[in-house]
Amino acid sequence: MATITIPKKLIKNDDLIVIPRRDYEKLLRFLKKRVYTSFDRDLDEAIAEVKAGEIIGPFKNAKELIKSLGS
């Protein structure tokens, strides 16, 4: 078995983690493959609408908001 010495400056605040390379590669693949949820799609759509100027408001009060939704 090989023995290595890890410099103390790499182990600040107990933040050194050692895992097998295979597990590390699985983690990298998982992080690269982002799950695109319906929330993400809705958020992208909302951002596109704001950029296109397809927004209403701002409103001074709730009555103005309700009036704009009714028309």
pLDDT tens profile 19-52: 999 999 998 888 877 777 788 889 999 999 999 9
Domain count, the chain: 1
12 lies in some domain: no
48 lies in some domain: yes
Residue 65 structural domain: 20-71
Q: Is the dihedral of CA 49, 51, 55, 59 positive or negative?
A: positive
Residue 18 has pLDDT above 90, yes or no: no
46 lies in some domain: yes
47 lies in some domain: yes
26 lies in some domain: yes
Confidence bin at 71 (pLDDT 50/70/90): low
d(CA 8, CA 5): 9
53 lies in some domain: yes
